[in-house]
Structure 1
Amino acid sequence: MPPLSPLPGRSRLTEFAGRIMYVLEGEMALHTDLYTPVRLKAGESVHLDGMMGHAYLKASEGPCKVLCVCTNEHSGGGLGIPALP
Protein backbone atom coordinates (compact mmCIF):
# COMPACT_ATOMS: atom_id res chain seq x y z
CA MET A 1 0.00 0.00 0.00
CA PRO A 2 1.47 3.41 -0.91
CA PRO A 3 2.09 5.79 2.03
CA LEU A 4 -0.94 7.90 1.02
CA SER A 5 -3.86 6.11 -0.54
CA PRO A 6 -7.57 5.68 0.02
CA LEU A 7 -8.14 3.05 2.70
CA PRO A 8 -9.56 -0.12 1.19
CA GLY A 9 -12.51 -1.81 2.80
CA ARG A 10 -10.12 -3.97 4.83
CA SER A 11 -6.43 -4.71 5.13
CA ARG A 12 -4.22 -7.09 7.09
CA LEU A 13 -0.51 -6.37 6.91
CA THR A 14 2.25 -7.59 9.24
CA GLU A 15 5.44 -7.26 7.22
CA PHE A 16 6.75 -4.07 8.87
CA ALA A 17 8.36 -3.72 12.30
CA GLY A 18 6.79 -0.40 13.20
CA ARG A 19 3.76 1.45 11.93
CA ILE A 20 2.35 4.91 12.58
CA MET A 21 -1.06 5.63 11.11
CA TYR A 22 -2.55 9.13 10.95
CA VAL A 23 -6.15 9.52 9.76
CA LEU A 24 -6.39 12.36 7.25
CA GLU A 25 -10.04 11.95 6.31
CA GLY A 26 -12.96 9.81 7.48
CA GLU A 27 -12.77 7.16 10.19
CA MET A 28 -10.99 3.83 10.50
CA ALA A 29 -11.31 0.91 12.89
CA LEU A 30 -8.11 -0.76 14.07
CA HIS A 31 -8.18 -4.32 15.39
CA THR A 32 -5.14 -6.04 16.93
CA ASP A 33 -4.37 -9.44 18.38
CA LEU A 34 -3.71 -7.97 21.83
CA TYR A 35 -5.88 -4.90 22.36
CA THR A 36 -9.50 -3.83 22.27
CA PRO A 37 -10.50 -2.47 18.83
CA VAL A 38 -10.25 1.30 18.50
CA ARG A 39 -11.97 3.74 16.16
CA LEU A 40 -9.87 6.68 14.92
CA LYS A 41 -11.24 9.88 13.38
CA ALA A 42 -9.56 12.47 11.16
CA GLY A 43 -6.70 14.10 13.07
CA GLU A 44 -6.06 11.08 15.33
CA SER A 45 -3.10 8.71 15.11
CA VAL A 46 -1.78 5.44 16.49
CA HIS A 47 1.64 3.79 16.76
CA LEU A 48 1.90 0.01 16.87
CA ASP A 49 4.28 -2.87 16.46
CA GLY A 50 3.66 -3.93 12.88
CA MET A 51 4.64 -7.52 13.67
CA MET A 52 1.62 -7.81 15.99
CA GLY A 53 -1.37 -9.13 14.11
CA HIS A 54 -3.59 -6.23 13.12
CA ALA A 55 -6.25 -5.26 10.63
CA TYR A 56 -7.83 -1.95 9.79
CA LEU A 57 -10.92 -1.03 7.88
CA LYS A 58 -12.99 1.94 6.90
CA ALA A 59 -15.45 2.76 9.69
CA SER A 60 -17.61 5.51 8.19
CA GLU A 61 -19.46 6.43 5.03
CA GLY A 62 -17.45 8.26 2.41
CA PRO A 63 -13.74 8.17 1.78
CA CYS A 64 -11.14 7.31 4.39
CA LYS A 65 -7.53 8.41 3.86
CA VAL A 66 -4.73 7.30 6.18
CA LEU A 67 -1.08 8.31 6.14
CA CYS A 68 0.91 5.22 7.09
CA VAL A 69 4.61 5.43 7.99
CA CYS A 70 6.32 2.04 8.24
CA THR A 71 9.76 0.85 9.28
CA ASN A 72 11.26 -2.54 8.60
CA GLU A 73 14.04 -2.66 11.18
CA HIS A 74 13.54 -4.12 14.65
CA SER A 75 16.94 -3.28 16.14
CA GLY A 76 17.41 0.23 14.79
CA GLY A 77 15.42 3.39 14.60
CA GLY A 78 14.12 2.36 11.16
CA LEU A 79 14.64 3.95 7.80
CA GLY A 80 18.41 3.52 8.23
CA ILE A 81 18.53 5.69 11.37
CA PRO A 82 20.39 4.01 14.26
CA ALA A 83 18.53 3.44 17.50
CA LEU A 84 19.22 5.80 20.40
CA PRO A 85 21.20 4.23 23.28
Structure 2
Amino acid sequence: MTDAKDAPNPRTSFGKRLRQLRGDRGWTLAEVAERSGLAISTISKAERGVISLTYDRLSQLARGLDVDLAAFFNADGQSFEPGSFAVARKGEFKRQETKNYVYEMLFPDLWNKAMTPMMGSLKAREFVDFEDFVRHPGQEFLIVMEGEVTVFVEDRDPVCLKAGDSIYFDSAVGHLYASGGDRDARILVVCVPGAGA
Protein backbone atom coordinates (compact mmCIF):
# COMPACT_ATOMS: atom_id res chain seq x y z
CA MET A 1 0.00 0.00 0.00
CA THR A 2 1.36 3.42 -0.98
CA ASP A 3 1.41 6.02 1.74
CA ALA A 4 -0.27 9.31 0.68
CA LYS A 5 2.92 11.21 1.47
CA ASP A 6 4.84 8.92 -0.92
CA ALA A 7 2.36 9.37 -3.80
CA PRO A 8 3.72 11.45 -6.67
CA ASN A 9 2.68 15.11 -6.59
CA PRO A 10 0.72 15.86 -9.81
CA ARG A 11 2.34 19.32 -10.11
CA THR A 12 5.81 17.83 -9.81
CA SER A 13 5.01 15.10 -12.37
CA PHE A 14 3.57 17.69 -14.74
CA GLY A 15 6.65 19.91 -14.30
CA LYS A 16 9.04 17.07 -15.10
CA ARG A 17 7.06 16.19 -18.22
CA LEU A 18 6.98 19.83 -19.35
CA ARG A 19 10.73 20.15 -18.84
CA GLN A 20 11.25 16.93 -20.82
CA LEU A 21 9.12 18.17 -23.74
CA ARG A 22 11.02 21.46 -23.79
CA GLY A 23 14.36 19.66 -23.52
CA ASP A 24 13.45 17.28 -26.37
CA ARG A 25 13.19 20.35 -28.58
CA GLY A 26 16.33 21.96 -27.21
CA TRP A 27 14.40 25.13 -26.43
CA THR A 28 15.04 27.63 -23.67
CA LEU A 29 12.33 28.96 -21.39
CA ALA A 30 12.46 32.19 -23.40
CA GLU A 31 11.82 30.32 -26.67
CA VAL A 32 8.82 28.48 -25.23
CA ALA A 33 7.52 31.74 -23.78
CA GLU A 34 7.79 33.43 -27.18
CA ARG A 35 6.06 30.54 -28.96
CA SER A 36 3.27 30.13 -26.40
CA GLY A 37 2.64 33.71 -25.31
CA LEU A 38 3.10 32.74 -21.65
CA ALA A 39 5.50 34.52 -19.32
CA ILE A 40 8.90 32.90 -18.72
CA SER A 41 8.16 32.98 -14.97
CA THR A 42 4.88 31.08 -15.49
CA ILE A 43 6.58 28.32 -17.47
CA SER A 44 9.45 28.13 -14.99
CA LYS A 45 7.07 27.85 -12.02
CA ALA A 46 5.09 25.13 -13.82
CA GLU A 47 8.29 23.19 -14.56
CA ARG A 48 9.33 23.39 -10.90
CA GLY A 49 5.91 22.25 -9.69
CA VAL A 50 5.25 25.55 -7.95
CA ILE A 51 2.00 26.23 -9.83
CA SER A 52 -0.58 24.34 -11.86
CA LEU A 53 -1.87 25.77 -15.10
CA THR A 54 -5.49 26.38 -16.00
CA TYR A 55 -6.90 24.87 -19.19
CA ASP A 56 -6.38 28.04 -21.23
CA ARG A 57 -2.69 28.18 -20.28
CA LEU A 58 -2.27 24.45 -20.89
CA SER A 59 -3.69 25.00 -24.38
CA GLN A 60 -1.33 27.91 -25.04
CA LEU A 61 1.62 25.85 -23.89
CA ALA A 62 0.61 22.86 -26.02
CA ARG A 63 0.35 25.09 -29.11
CA GLY A 64 3.70 26.70 -28.30
CA LEU A 65 5.43 23.32 -27.94
CA ASP A 66 3.48 21.90 -30.90
CA VAL A 67 2.24 18.92 -28.87
CA ASP A 68 -1.13 17.43 -28.07
CA LEU A 69 -2.40 18.67 -24.71
CA ALA A 70 -2.55 15.06 -23.51
CA ALA A 71 1.23 14.80 -23.98
CA PHE A 72 1.64 16.77 -20.73
CA PHE A 73 0.05 13.90 -18.82
CA ASN A 74 1.30 10.81 -20.65
CA ALA A 75 4.57 10.36 -22.53
CA ASP A 76 3.37 7.21 -24.27
CA GLY A 77 0.07 8.30 -25.75
CA GLN A 78 -1.34 6.94 -28.97
CA SER A 79 -3.35 8.83 -31.57
CA PHE A 80 -7.06 8.23 -31.70
CA GLU A 81 -7.74 6.45 -34.98
CA PRO A 82 -10.98 6.36 -37.01
CA GLY A 83 -13.12 3.40 -36.00
CA SER A 84 -11.48 3.02 -32.59
CA PHE A 85 -12.99 3.55 -29.15
CA ALA A 86 -11.73 3.97 -25.62
CA VAL A 87 -13.19 3.43 -22.16
CA ALA A 88 -12.26 5.44 -19.08
CA ARG A 89 -13.08 3.63 -15.86
CA LYS A 90 -13.88 5.53 -12.71
CA GLY A 91 -10.65 6.95 -11.29
CA GLU A 92 -8.72 6.75 -14.58
CA PHE A 93 -7.62 10.31 -15.15
CA LYS A 94 -4.72 12.69 -14.63
CA ARG A 95 -5.26 15.31 -11.95
CA GLN A 96 -4.49 18.98 -12.47
CA GLU A 97 -5.35 21.22 -9.51
CA THR A 98 -5.37 24.99 -9.53
CA LYS A 99 -6.41 27.46 -6.85
CA ASN A 100 -10.07 27.28 -7.89
CA TYR A 101 -10.46 24.09 -9.95
CA VAL A 102 -9.59 20.42 -9.74
CA TYR A 103 -9.40 19.03 -13.28
CA GLU A 104 -9.61 15.31 -13.96
CA MET A 105 -8.20 15.01 -17.48
CA LEU A 106 -9.93 12.02 -19.08
CA PHE A 107 -8.23 9.80 -21.68
CA PRO A 108 -4.72 11.21 -21.09
CA ASP A 109 -3.23 8.37 -23.15
CA LEU A 110 -5.23 9.30 -26.27
CA TRP A 111 -3.67 12.00 -28.42
CA ASN A 112 -5.21 13.99 -31.27
CA LYS A 113 -8.71 13.81 -29.87
CA ALA A 114 -11.22 16.19 -31.48
CA MET A 115 -12.29 17.26 -27.99
CA THR A 116 -10.89 17.41 -24.47
CA PRO A 117 -13.24 15.88 -21.87
CA MET A 118 -12.63 16.74 -18.22
CA MET A 119 -14.49 16.02 -15.02
CA GLY A 120 -13.77 18.02 -11.98
CA SER A 121 -14.66 19.94 -8.90
CA LEU A 122 -15.15 23.63 -8.44
CA LYS A 123 -13.94 24.66 -5.04
CA ALA A 124 -16.52 26.63 -3.07
CA ARG A 125 -15.21 30.16 -3.51
CA GLU A 126 -16.24 33.64 -4.46
CA PHE A 127 -15.69 35.31 -7.84
CA VAL A 128 -13.10 37.66 -6.29
CA ASP A 129 -10.66 34.73 -5.99
CA PHE A 130 -10.13 34.78 -9.75
CA GLU A 131 -7.45 36.95 -11.29
CA ASP A 132 -8.96 37.22 -14.77
CA PHE A 133 -11.35 35.58 -17.18
CA VAL A 134 -10.27 32.36 -18.89
CA ARG A 135 -10.39 32.35 -22.69
CA HIS A 136 -9.14 29.96 -25.34
CA PRO A 137 -10.00 29.26 -28.97
CA GLY A 138 -12.89 26.88 -29.56
CA GLN A 139 -16.17 25.90 -28.01
CA GLU A 140 -17.03 24.59 -24.57
CA PHE A 141 -19.77 22.50 -22.98
CA LEU A 142 -20.39 22.20 -19.24
CA ILE A 143 -22.97 20.15 -17.34
CA VAL A 144 -23.43 20.35 -13.57
CA MET A 145 -23.45 16.91 -12.01
CA GLU A 146 -23.68 17.92 -8.33
CA GLY A 147 -24.18 21.21 -6.56
CA GLU A 148 -24.65 24.60 -8.14
CA VAL A 149 -22.40 26.54 -10.51
CA THR A 150 -22.34 30.20 -11.42
CA VAL A 151 -20.90 30.84 -14.88
CA PHE A 152 -19.47 34.32 -15.33
CA VAL A 153 -19.20 35.39 -18.96
CA GLU A 154 -17.54 38.61 -20.03
CA ASP A 155 -20.02 41.44 -20.71
CA ARG A 156 -23.03 39.26 -19.76
CA ASP A 157 -25.04 38.61 -16.64
CA PRO A 158 -23.88 35.56 -14.61
CA VAL A 159 -25.76 32.32 -15.31
CA CYS A 160 -26.70 30.09 -12.37
CA LEU A 161 -26.85 26.36 -13.10
CA LYS A 162 -28.13 23.55 -10.88
CA ALA A 163 -27.49 19.79 -11.12
CA GLY A 164 -28.55 18.60 -14.58
CA ASP A 165 -28.31 22.09 -16.17
CA SER A 166 -25.78 22.70 -18.93
CA ILE A 167 -24.29 25.49 -21.03
CA TYR A 168 -22.55 25.63 -24.42
CA PHE A 169 -20.57 28.67 -25.55
CA ASP A 170 -17.72 30.17 -27.57
CA SER A 171 -14.74 29.69 -25.25
CA ALA A 172 -12.84 32.59 -26.85
CA VAL A 173 -15.19 34.80 -24.82
CA GLY A 174 -13.86 35.37 -21.31
CA HIS A 175 -15.49 33.00 -18.82
CA LEU A 176 -15.18 31.62 -15.29
CA TYR A 177 -16.94 28.93 -13.29
CA ALA A 178 -17.52 29.16 -9.56
CA SER A 179 -19.34 26.95 -7.10
CA GLY A 180 -22.73 28.58 -6.58
CA GLY A 181 -23.13 27.20 -3.10
CA ASP A 182 -21.17 26.65 0.08
CA ARG A 183 -19.81 23.28 -1.08
CA ASP A 184 -17.75 22.10 -4.01
CA ALA A 185 -19.63 21.41 -7.24
CA ARG A 186 -18.97 18.47 -9.62
CA ILE A 187 -18.92 19.18 -13.34
CA LEU A 188 -18.20 17.61 -16.71
CA VAL A 189 -16.59 19.92 -19.26
CA VAL A 190 -15.83 19.19 -22.90
CA CYS A 191 -13.62 21.63 -24.83
CA VAL A 192 -13.28 21.58 -28.61
CA PRO A 193 -10.33 23.56 -29.97
CA GLY A 194 -10.91 26.24 -32.56
CA ALA A 195 -9.24 26.50 -35.94
CA GLY A 196 -5.48 26.68 -35.63
CA ALA A 197 -5.57 25.64 -31.97
Structure 1 length as normaliser, TM-score?
Answer: 0.76
Q: How many residues align?
A: 75
- 2:121 maps to a residue whose letter is P
Residue in structure 2 matched with residue 6 of structure 1 by the alignment? 121
Q: Please identify runs of 4+ aligned residues in structure 1 that moved more than 2 A.
A: 8-13
Residue 19 of structure 1 is matched in structure 2 by: 140
Aligned: 1:46 with 2:164: no
**Residue 16 of structure 1: CA displacement?**
4.1
1:73 aligns to 2:194 (yes or no): yes
- The answer to which structure has the higher strand fraction is 1
Contact 1:33–1:54 (8 Å) recurs in 2: yes
Larger radius of gyration: 2
1:61 is aligned to: 182
Long gaps (5+) in structure 1: 76-85
Percent identical residues: 25
* Alignment gaps of 5+ in structure 2: 1-102, 106-117
Over residues 38-65 of structure 1, what are the superposed CA-to-partner deviations in whole Å (9 max), with x where a residue is unaligned?
Answer: 1100000000100001111011122301
Asked whether the 8 Å contact 1:16–1:70 carries over to 2, the reply is: no
1:22-33 to structure 2, matched below 5 A, reads: 22-33=143-154
Q: For residues 28 and 74 of structure 1, what CA distance do their matches in structure 2 show? A: 29
Q: Which residue of 1 aligns with 2:64?
A: none
Root-mean-square deviation (CA), in Å? 1.9
Distance across 1 between alignment mates of 2:166 and 2:150:
12
Distance 2:187 2:145 in 1: 5
TM-score (structure 2 length as normaliser): 0.35
Q: Which has the higher contact order (CA 8 A, sep 6+)?
A: 1
Deviations 1:12-54 (A, max 9, x none): 4312410000000000101111321111000000001000011
Equivalent in the alignment of 2:158: 37
